[in-house]
Structure 1
Amino acid sequence: MYLKSLTLKGFKSFADRSLLSFDPGLNVVVGPNGSGKSNVSDAILWVLGEQSAKQLRGQAMEDVIFSGSSVRPAVGVAEVTLVLDNSAHELPVDFDEVAVTRRMYRSGESEYLINSSPSRLMDIQDILHDSGLGKDTHSIISQGKLDSVLNSRPEDLRPLVEEAAGISKHRRRKERSTRKLKAMEESVRRARDLDREMRRRLRPLERQVDKAQRYADLESERQRLETLLAVDDLRRLQAEWQALGSQRAEAEAAVELARYRSEEKAKNLEKLQSLLEQKGLFVGDLGEQRRRVQDQLGRLRSDMGLLEEKGRNMVARLSDTRMNLSSLDRRHDAAFATLAEAQQDLQEAKGRHQLLSGELESLAPAAKKAAQDLADLGSQAAQLAADQRIAQRASDEAVLARARLQEQVANAKAEDDLFAQRMDAISETLEASEAELTSLRASLIEHTRAIEEARDDVSAAEKHQASSSRALSEARAAQDKTQGALREAQASLKALKSVATPVAATSRMARIQEDAALKALAAHTVASELHLCPSLEKAAEGYLAAGLQDIVASTPQDAQALISCALAAAKASGDVTVQVAPTDGGDAPKAPACMPASGAAPFLEEMASQGLKAGRLEGRLFSAVAVVEDARRVLESHLAEPRWSYVSRDGAVVAGTDGRVRVGLPAGTDRGALERNRRIHELEDSLPQLEEAQKEASAAVAAARQATDEARRATEAAKSQLSSFIGEESSLRREVARLEQSQQRSQAELKAVSERRAKAAEKTADATPRIAELDSQVKVAEAQLDQLASQIAEAEERRRDLAAAEAEARANANERSLELATMDERIRHLSVTVDSMGRELESLERQRVAAVESTRSLEVLRLRIDPLHERYEAIHERVLQWAERLRDTASLAEADSDSLKRTINDAKAESAAAAKELEEATSALNALLVEAGKLEVQVQTAVEAVRAAGSMPIEEALELPAPEDRSADEAALARTKSAIEHLGPVNQVAMEEYRELKERADYIAAQLADLESAKGALDKITSAIDRKMRRAFLETFATVNGFFEEIFSMLFPGGTAHLELTDPDHPDQTGIEIVAQPKGKRIPKLALMSGGEKSLTALALLFAVYRTRTVPFYVFDEVEAALDDSNLGKLLGAIEVLKESTQLIVISHQRRTMEQADVLYGVSMQADGVSRVVSQRLDQRTGKVVDV
């Protein structure tokens, strides 16, 4: 992987789009100071995610956007695209090229893209970090960074080694995880607090739940008792209601009788009152007349009082009017005196005003003439100044035009020289490219022929690889089949052996198996020692039954040891059977002298017919045993010949010589034991064959795999050769096309340069006579300027004299004008005063006339009121006399009606007695109604009490039986209410709150347990990562230290250097110190080194890190600036070695560095302040330098 290209647009001084294509090897960027070449390293650092403006040599991040120049406007966006060749797929993405783009807008917004897809900075860092690239790595050495490497603290050098070890990414992830763990700890702490808080709240809630439950029980009992008592009260009230109904009927009858009597008495009273009213009409008329007379007397008294009050008011007003008239006379006299004084002052002011007006008129002509002369002279001076400016402008234009033409001529001559040089260079380039093009075309023909041959080789290799792959597949299939058979046999053998392993069926057998020596003897059972054919296995199992588990002892001593062990288990249960194997010297058991019954075959003969030889054990066990095919004929055979033992072939029925016949196998019989043992022996015999077949199959697979690998390598080699040829052909074609295009561009440029040279020559020829003409124009303009300057000086002198005379005349006129204005203001003020006093005298005169008229009117009114008052008094006396006569007449009429009134009073008494009787009867009825109402309320209250109790509906409550002991129930109700009151406040929703809080508390507890478990797991993972990082760091430190010593000794022959850990006991936090001693020097501190020594030491450390872990490319920005020629040679030697393993991009001023470059880029800046690049590449085949 390497840096393929870098595209800059709007970044710093690269306002236009600039493309830099790089090749593997050494790429050098050169240019004069200030041309912007270091912006290339800044662009790489920026696109990799650098966020610090200081690291990019700026004050703010917006400084990376081109800010404009004197002739170029600023741009709004900076964009850098870095393209990495990922054909080896070292980056974890499925692309052959990875393009990383960063854009930043002047508004502050920015974005990142990977292959034109938006992404995050974190994604870019994760993708690139494993390759060693990034803003925090040391693959980019900017200006001044070498000094920072040596001047760093020991703790700051540690990231260098961590970067080489490849653990920086893991450390950052660990730091993020640590922060997350801290946040998790905070969450755990809060969860614990919450859990404790909820547990604390649960305890009182539990008490509240118990209290609520007790309250519910008491409340239920209260409701039951209240319902019972309320229903009893309701029944009692029903009886009282029925008794009250009869009393109410009697009261209603008494009220009706009393009402009749009262109405009769009332009618008699009405008749008497009607008669009295008829006699009282006359008395009423007299009373009405007396009332009207009294009203007239009241109105007369009121009118007389009003006249008296008006008279008093009129006298007071007359007195006030006379006093006001005296005051108006005094004010009129004072105003008249003030008016006379103001009129006199006004006459004096008018006289002074006329005098000043005459003086001002005499001064005005002189001031006007002086101002006119000054204005005429100002116009003349202005005209001269305008002529001077016109002349000066014409002179400046002529001088500027002459200077431009002279500069144009000089530039044209310089361009002509440049054009000539460029035409020569283009001609040489055309000749060289033509020769190279001829050579490339010949090479292209050869490569085309080689490609055809390589394709044939690839086709043949692919066919051979296909056949090898088929053979490998067949070999693997055979191997899989053999492996399957072997695994199946091994598994079956293991399973059968596990089943066949004897298990202690009795405590005596368990005692024997506890002895290690006897356990091996106990493994030899009858079942394991018998070797029978499959057709006889079931018959043998049926005959022997539990005897299959008898232990077979090879010697009598072994038998005795087994019997002794079984006897030693005094308290053990069960039995153990031991058989002593027959010896070779003993007599074999003999079969009965007679043959078995018809249809039965001797067991041993059956073995012989199957090709099996009976051993001594088989002979002893089956010498007198015969096999019957049909289990139902076993008894017949035994009865026919009882000296033989008979067994059915399936082992289901056995008949012994003792006359007993057994059907089925006894409990504890090991079914299939003989078959298992046979299968075990067969599998043990077949395993070696299967293992041998497995080895042969594995060898065949290995051989086929080797052949396939060889075929694949041959195919890959052929394809690689073909790809190489195709790539070279493609490169040749591109190179031919590029050279042809270059030739076309060169020819076009040669033509364009020739045309531009001709135009420049024409401009030079046209400009020469024009320059002479402009010289004469400049001289004429300068003479005219001198003449105008003298005229302007004379006019200025005259203007100063006229200005002084005009100022003096204007001052005299202004003084008179000021005095005249003062007199005008005084005359205006006095005129206003005279007018005001005149209006005031008129107003006082009008007020005096009005006061005199008012006095006269009041006197007239006073004379009219007195006669009117006397007339009112006479009328009042006559009305009093009429009232006395009316009173006497009324007294006589009232005496005649007294007897009738006494009769009416008796009737009223009788009517009142009847009404009282009615009232008493009604009161009695009302009392009964009130009692009924009270009873109804009590009934309603009792019904509401039943409903309020809420234990049951009213219909069901009425069906309840009467209480047996009401007083006891009332006492119980009182105790229940008292108990409820003593409970105090009860939380009715405590149960629901408790349930919800309990669920939440359980949930929090579960979450807390999960958090603590996760935290524990993360702590374990972190510890494991720390151990791996510590081991990787120490191993990498040792490697970097070794390379550092080697490179330092190469750069400083005879010198020594090494790295030291500041705290070896704590590798996780230790820093790193550099100890370096050039030959013949003792330098206690690195700061005492010279600039060149510091640079070489820092580069030695960086190269040691680079050799430990190579990254795709490195960028060095003027790292050799402080080196002399000798040290530069050492550095270039190290660079030459380093470029074999990685790509180098060096920004330099050194000529030797340029000479060693594979690709050379030149950066220049024109007058518009924009950086531009031009490049050349060294062709490794031809050794020539070509333009890129």
Structure 2
Amino acid sequence: MYLKRLDLVGFKTFADESKLEFRPGITAVVGPNGSGKSNLADAIQWVMGERSMKQLRGARPADLIFAGNGQRKPVGMAEVSLTLDNADGALGIDFSEVTVTRRVFRSGESNYLINKSACRLRDIHELFLDTGLGPDAYSIISQSEIDAILSLRAEDRRALFEEVAGIQKYRFKRHETKLKLDRTERNLTRVRDILHELDSELGPLAEQAELAREYENYQVRLKQLQLGLLAREYDVRRQRWERLEQEHHERGLEIEGAVTAVATLEAAADEIDLKLIRMEKEIVKIQEETTRIVSQVKSTEGKIAVSQERERALTERRERAVQESADLADGLEAMRVELREARDQEAQLQSEVSRLGQETVAKERHLGELDAEIQREAGNLELRREEYLEHVRQGAEKRNAIAACEATSRGLTTQVETARKSLGNARAELSATEGARAEAELALETGKAELTDRTREARETRESLTQVEGERDRATERVAALREQLSDHRSRLQALTEREANLEGVAAGVQTVLRASQVGELPGGCGSVAQLLRAPQECEAAIELALGPALQYVVVVDEPAARAGIELLSEKRAGRATFLPLSGLLPTPADADLRELAYAPGVVGLGVDLVRFDLRHRAAVQYLLGRVIVVRDGRFAAALARRAPRACTLVTLTGEVFLPGGALAGGKGSPGQGGLLSRKREIGELSASVATLNAELGEQTRYAEAVVEQIAELRDELTDREAARAELAQEVARQERNVLHLGDQLARLNATVDQHAEDLRSLDSEILACQEAGAAHRSELQRIEGARQALDHSIAEGQSSLDEKRQSREVMAHAVNDSRVRFASVRERLVGVEKSRQSLVSRERQTHHALTVNHETIAAADQEMTFLRKIVETDKAALEALTVQQEEMEQSFLRWRETRQAAMDAQAQTSAKLREQRTKQHGLEEDCHRVELRLTQTMTETEELERRFLEEHGLQPDEAVNHKDDLENKSAAEEEAQTLKQKMTSLGEVNLGALAEYDRKHERYDFLNTQVVDLEDARAKCEEIIAEIDANTKAQFMATFDAVMREFAVLFVRIFGGGSARLVLTDPTNILETGIDVRIQLPGKAEQDLLLLSGGERALTALSLLLSMLRVKPSPFCVLDEVDAPLDESNVGKFAELLREFAQQSQFIVVTHNKGTMEAADALYGVTMEKAGVSKLVSVRLEDALAHAGIASPEAPEGALAEADAATV
């Protein structure tokens, strides 16, 4: 077996799911200090069942759960799973792989699982018992525990050797057997106590059983008589039942006939209704079909009308086309004549246009020359005018600029006023906001203070609630204890009361007399002496001893009453009794000497003076106790007896009796065997105690209820305060948000005030700039006006010259225009003639096309008209067929309507018959109901008789009716039954359960005797098992002790290179409890105390002892948590060498910082803490780790490198 895998999640610093795979050999876990390496050892120790939080370096279970850090929240659960390879079956469980899981939640709840099945922590302990992996085993050793092995007391060190010896299972079995032996002893004592009590009860119970047997004989005969009378009455009721059943059956047949008739009529009515429904459906269908046909007729008529209208329109269109064709043919000939005339006129006009064109060109050339001169002068004049306009434009611009500056200045002035107002408003708002913020901060501080008060009040209320809940629990416990005590007292009181009522412990004859006196059969009876006396508790035993059998004497008024009692006993043969008639007793009053003795030393008093009784019974008490002296003990009684009168009886409180004449009686009865006087006193005390306990229980119950009400009030108060606190917390949060908002608003308002001030400064600068620009624009405007006036004069002169040249051009232009007009007129005529010719050619083509189109239109119209005539004929034929269908549907509708009316008439007739038949059925049902009521009454009476048969006689009716002939005479039977009842009454109160109680108690008495034998056998067997376990434990412990001591001696010499080591039993005579001391002698030194060793020497010594245990009994795996820390480099080498040697038989997981130990490992796991408080497993190649550690030549086996590569989590 070896450790195969470890899975962690949420355990200490391992917040994330982590997995470690292990193989046989040595696995080293390395990492910086504080990274969480030792938490892996804690996880293994915890999952294997460790319960000590101190061992796990914590204070409470919640310390094992990841507690969170600045970036991660705490988790709610820690879980560790340990998987073991169990192929060799070392765990004693039928699985080749066993996974043990342990979980803990922050609530404190824990779960335990074995192979995912829920189990107990005890199951995990038993699973690892004697495997070397238990909680007290040597499989997980830390640095502190290495030192503790040597620091332990000798008795505590024994636990390690017991684990090696494998005797934990014996310890466990011995403990279980010892518990069983203790239970057997307790059961044996309890059974013997019950047997003693049963033995005292069986005697009186036998007498009661005999009386009950006589009573039962009378009762059996009475039941026989009552059964016969009951059977006769049952027979009469049964005959009446049968007669009424027959009558009910006949009425039922008549009702069935009426029901059948009603059903027939209802079926007929339903059939008619169905027919009417079908007719209605058919009529509706005909109406729908008629509507459809009418719709089709109208649609067909519309189609015919449309077709006829289209035919008429086509006819008109064809006629128009024929007329148009004739007109077009006539116009075509006229157009051809006009075309020839237009071509001749066109030739003449072309010759005239050529001549006029040459004349016009010459005049236009001269006109062009004049235009050039005018253009030059006009251009110059235009330049001057443009310059003039530019000056005008510039002047206007300057004026506009001046006006703009003035408008801007006015606007800026207005903006300055607005900005000043805005600045004032912003400053006012800033001041108000600062005040609001101060108020909000004050309110926030007040709210926080109030929230603190509310939180404190809620905490105080919660603490009060916790205290009151604790008081409730205590009150509940007190109520439960009082109820238990009250139940015990009530049970005891009930038992004693029943014994007193049943006169247990009283002779049968006395019981008969007392019961007869109670029911009035024996007038003059006063009761037994025990019933009439009361004695102090300390004197009860003495008075009972003094009276002896006289306690059961019956006190009666006079002698006739005594004789009547004797006759009663004789008649009933009920036994014997002694009577004390008050009228005939001769009292024995105490004389002076006797009175004098009552004051002697050690004397308690005279018996008659120590008891309480009714003065009417004084004669009887004086007769019995008048010469009885109660003394404290035998020493005083012996001294007093020598001078006491001869007729005097001395009784001691310790149970000794000095009888007249010198006889002496004494001894002790069985414990718990109370007398008649003590029973009555105990009944009184228990009654008072029950009343007191009842009152106290009521008071405690009311107090508990008041506490519960107080809890409810505190819970309501806590709820209210929590709600107020939550509401106040919300208000504080709102005020905090308001303060932040006001702070933001203040910052914004400060920025706004600064912005307004900056705007005012900017506006003042802009106003000044506008004023300076206006002055500059006015100066420039004066200059522009002077230049404009000079240009105005020059333009006037140039305009005059230009006007003269334009007049000359005007004359020439008129001549040119005349030529152009004539040329244009002739050309226009030419163009008009050309257009006329072209138009005639176009019209000729259009006319030809129109003729062609008209011919096509006429042909299409003829074709469509033929098609329309066919459609009209078809639609007319369809219309005639639809008209015929419409007439048929109307006829069919009339026929169906007449049929429906006939059906409705039949329906009315059937309904009338149905009403009549239902009335008849109702009458029959009422008659039947009356018969049924009589039958029900008779059945109830009969069933009551049947119930009495079963309850009183245990017979079924069929069996009981056979007893109706058992009685010859009913009157005689009734008279005999009455006589039996009187005899049963004369027996008085009879304990009918005495027979069964006697048998049950006797059977229980025999059974308990058998149980005593069985328990004694079981006790002997347990003692035998414990002796056998002790013997095996001793032998196995000594064998293991010797083996470990030998290995320890060898390993010590090997590790230290000399010296000696031995183990010593502190108490060799007590092998089961002896401690173990370790004695060592280092090389070159004398034997010395372990406390004087250095840290390294202590570590090596402890390792020697640990490895010697592993040699004797190898553990499947061993976790060593930095046990090599105290060792120097040379000793680390020895330690690593031993690890390699022992790794052949055990698996090692070593948490270490030493390079030498790392070199010995077959696999490495690295633990780091990249984030604060969160451990993480990383993949570490062995050769990289050794190189980082400064080792020059790491010789890593292939398995180690493969393991390191697989260690990525």
Which TM-score bucket, shorter chain as reference?
Answer: 0.3 to 0.5
Give the TM-score normalised by structure 2.
0.35
Compute the TM-score of the two structures, normalised by the length of structure 1. 0.36
